[in-house]
Structure 1
Amino acid sequence: MKRKVIKRIVVAGILLTGLASSISIKKLDKVRAEAEAGKFDPVAYAQDFWDNELMPNLGGATLLSHLIPLLDQNPEKAFNEYSKALGIGNIRFFMVQGKGEIREIDENEITVMVQTEEGFHPVRIATEYIFGNAVRDASGRVDMADFEQTMDFNNVSAEINQLIRKEVLPGLKQNSQVGDKITFYGAIEMNKEQVNLSDLEIIPVKVGFEESKKLVENAGS
């Protein structure tokens, strides 16, 4: 009987140690070093990227009020100056910031009317289908050369998207009401050969609501 009890205690200790290790937050340089040693942890990498790379640098995101008119008048300049991409294909990514009024809410997205240098323009903020590499690649701060395996590189995107679902979407959905003033940061994926300004979808990474002169923020604050 005593042996069984001791064995259970040992097993429980091992499981708890493993769990604590799996949820620990590690510095990005350590995570990268472990990746080189074949011990890559995409959850830790994504969390460190979110806290120490993405959030502190959102102030440098391109203003939608400027980007939308530029995409309309001179798309080549807009892509050359503000977009990022991994290769030489047509798919590009923008990290943007904007503010406007919520005009419509449905189960998959929120439509916001944004004031630009030329007038008002609707954009869609995704609230349901969060997938792809938009945030990872729009940030310009995750280098594929740092990864020995493509799977690890792709798993980073999956974990970043999971953080959005956990950190951003609940507050966005709960607080949104038609007529609210909203500020937001997020990523846009766009084909430079098929620019469609009537269908701009933003993957949000930080959102704020102005209610009775009080800013209520969620994600990354």
Structure 2
Amino acid sequence: MKKIFFSAGVAALMILGSCGNSATESDSADSTAGTQADTAAVTPEAAAEGTQVAVANLQLTSDSTKNIGTAKFYKLTDGKIRMDLEINMQERADSNVAVHFHEHGDCGMKGENSHGHWNPTKAEHGEWGSAAFHSGDIGNIKLDASGHGTKSVTTDLWSTDPGDKEIIGRAVIVHGGTDDYKSQPSGNSGPRVGCGVITKL
């Protein structure tokens, strides 16, 4: 009888040991799979999109707690700067808004503290890429039925380094009207409804 109990005890211990080993192997396999998946997820893609070097978060000038978009700035391998601008303004749906860089990074007094257009070349106001335009004359952006619009600009007229081309500390102003690209000095673009300061990352 003692031998029977002894044999049963040994068998039970072997079964428990076997179960424990299976669980450990399963956890280890899951952990390894998770690590491999995480590593794959964070592997950077090879793309010529540049490195983000600055950002401007845009708010309503009438309510600085309401975000209406962002301007993200990337430095490309050739030294140029690309701005990817996105605006979301339901209240301006199905209309144009004009966007310009202004001299001072101060959105106070409903954007008036940003003063006039940033114009380091002392040129006349005009459409981007025309015979004469300010370095910050971004121009009109068409907003869709939901108030969403985007624009991308790539140029060597901007820099994040100190100097005449420096955009850091400038204001990005969103106007409530359409830029006619003719009227001086600001294209008769309407009130300053949005504002954000370009900040270096």
Shorter-normalised TM-score: what interval? under 0.3
The higher radius of gyration belongs to 2
Higher helix share: 1
